[in-house]
Amino acid sequence: MNNGGNALYIQSGGPTAVINASAYGVIKECRKSAEIRRIYASEHGILGVIRKKLFDVTEEMENEDRLPRTPSMIFGSCRYEIDEKDPQKKDYEAVLETLKELDIRYLFINGGNGSARAGLRLGGFLRERGYDAKLIVIPKTVDNDISCIDHAPGYPSAARHVVLTVSELARDMMTYDTELIMFAEVMGRNTGFLAAAALAASEIGRGPDLIYVPETVFDQQRFISDVRMVLEEKGKCFAVIAEGVRTADGRFLFEDTSINKGMDMQKNMGGLTPYVSRLLRDHFDCKIRGIDLGLMQRCGAHDVSEIDREEAEEAGRQAVRAAVRGETMKMVTIEREKGPVYRPVYGLEELEQVAGSDKNLSPDYVTEDRRFIKREFLNYIMPLIGELPEYTVLRNPYV
């Protein structure tokens, strides 16, 4: 029976603009609990636990009130995976040794679907060894591919960044009266939620003409035809393409070794911009602009969704409350209350259910021609990204 102890917070996976808000929520809520004596945070994810590199955040940190607005991951992460085939389970034993040494009885893992699966395995090992600890996962991802949840903290802010940037690029594209093809590569290894969010740019004046997501096959020749059609009609074309789109044979675009020569494809997720640029230049003579929105999608906090920040912090608080109640091996969930006004509803889901599958963008949101997103998606995304700026639109006729 768990009679209290110390807490450990772990940031896992890739950064988001609001993961430090979840850290803030965890830390502040832990301090309120009589069951939790000291609070630790791991440096560089699970590696910090294995190597016993932990921060003691029991006492208030310097400028702690700035933490929710601090970009990226203040405690760091890693790409290290515990070797499940190791018969001696050295990594797991090292983790257990750290937990015992510091009497850690509450574990909070802040990560995505891979982190949920890692938490499930770690929790299973601790149970096998008879170590009593409460383990709760706090969701986080910009891809929005965690199952059993309406949306994950981190996604709304990344989506807002995409919407604002695409809107700005679409306006820049109209500056000159020359033909131009522009495309933006956005994140999304297996899901098109971020690419689909670009649709909302149209709500503030200008948006993309074409949107391609991983949930449908990317046909290069069809893409060229789509671009040509828009170019002939408008004189310009703007496409948004998710990094994880695949061809009919199941290959990512960035796996074209004639472009990415000598690169390890497993380490080169994304990077389709050079391929698409060459593909377009092989078929068009006009100016072509390929823009990779890059890491700013996931770590930029200058255009964060305030709704996202609030939910991320509350998810951290909810995790602590659940653990102190005795819940374990679960993930905090966020659903939306039915009705015309958006309100988040927090809950818990078994890690086994979360780890069982990933979430994809519903094909119902993709147009039949597979080159755009239906307006129905706006009902999903608009409440999450917050109020958008208003721009001037010229409507005066020519003299």
82-119: b (≥16 Cβ within 10 Å) or e = beeeeeebebbebbbebbeebebbbbbbbbbbbbbbbb
**Which tokens go with 345?**
């509803």
Query: Taking 60 as the threshold, does the pLDDT of residue 335 lie above it?
Result: yes
CATH of 158-300+361-385, one of 3.40.605.10, 3.90.660.10, 3.40.50.460, 3.90.209.20: 3.40.50.460
Confidence (pLDDT) at 140 = 97
**CATH 3.40.50.450 occupies which residues in the chain?**
5-153+303-355
State the residue for tokens 């005066």.
396
Query: Taking 90 as the threshold, does the pLDDT of residue 2 lie above it?
Result: no
Average pLDDT over residues 309-318: 98
What pTM was estimated for this model as a whole?
0.95
Nearest residue to 360 via CA among 242, 256, 202: 242
Alpha helix locations (H) across 83-186? 90-101, 113-128, 155-173
Residues 6+ apart with CB under 8 A from 6: 36, 37, 38, 39, 40, 102, 103, 104, 105, 106
pLDDT bracket for residue 258 (50, 70, 90): low
Query: For the segment 182-218, what is each residue's pLDDT rounded down to a tens digit?
Result: 999 999 989 999 999 999 999 998 899 999 999 999 9
Query: Taking 80 as the threshold, does the pLDDT of residue 77 lie above it?
Result: yes
pLDDT bracket for residue 1 (50, 70, 90): very low
Confidence (pLDDT) at 261 = 54
Confidence (pLDDT) at 43 = 97
Residue 349's H or E segment, with its range, is: strand 344-350
Average pLDDT over residues 130-157: 97
Confidence (pLDDT) at 232 = 97
Residues 6+ apart with CB under 8 A from 203: 378, 382, 388
Instruction: Tell me how far apart the alpha carbons of residues 289 and 280 are, in angstroms, rounded to a whole number.
Output: 10
Q: Which residues are catalytic?
A: 143
DSSP-assigned states of every residue in 355-378? HT-B----GGGB-TTSSSB-TTHH
* Residues 317 and 131: beta-carbon distance below 8 Å: no
pLDDT bracket for residue 368 (50, 70, 90): very high
Instruction: Tell me how far apart the alpha carbons of residues 200 and 159 are, in angstroms, rounded to a whole number.
Output: 9
SS3 helix, strand, coil % of the chain, rounded to 5?
A: 40, 20, 40
Lowest mean pLDDT among 158-172, 243-257, 292-306, 342-356: 243-257
Nearest residue to 75 via CA among 39, 45, 30, 47: 45
Is the Cα dihedral 316, 322, 327, 332 positive or negative?
negative
Share of the chain above pLDDT 90, in %: 88
Q: Is 383 left (phi over 0), alpha (psi -120 to 50) or beta?
A: alpha
pLDDT bracket for residue 271 (50, 70, 90): confident
Confidence (pLDDT) at 200 = 98
**Which residues are paired to 345 by β-bridges?**
335
Question: In angstroms, what CA-CA distances link 298 with 155, 160, 373, 398?
Answer: 8, 11, 22, 42
pLDDT bracket for residue 399 (50, 70, 90): confident
Confidence (pLDDT) at 260 = 56
Average pLDDT over residues 389-393: 88
How crowded is residue 37: how many other Cβ atoms within 10 Å of its Cβ? Answer: 14
Instruction: Tell me how far apart the alpha carbons of residues 167 and 180 are, in angstroms, rounded to a whole number.
Output: 16
Confidence (pLDDT) at 307 = 97
Query: For the segment 31-40, what is each residue's pLDDT rounded down to a tens digit?
Result: 999 999 999 9
Average pLDDT over residues 3-21: 95
Query: Taking 70 as the threshold, does the pLDDT of residue 287 lie above it?
Result: yes
**Which residues are paired to 212 by β-bridges?**
241
CATH of 5-153+303-355, one of 3.40.50.450, 3.30.70.980, 3.30.70.1560, 3.90.800.10: 3.40.50.450
pLDDT bracket for residue 300 (50, 70, 90): confident
* Residues 146 and 190: beta-carbon distance below 8 Å: no
Tally of CA atoms within 13 A in the half-sphere of 330 that contains its CB: 20
Question: In angstroms, what CA-CA distances link 141 with 13, 194, 267, 287, 342?
Answer: 8, 11, 19, 35, 21
**CATH 3.40.50.460 occupies which residues in the chain?**
158-300+361-385
* Residues 315 and 139: beta-carbon distance below 8 Å: yes
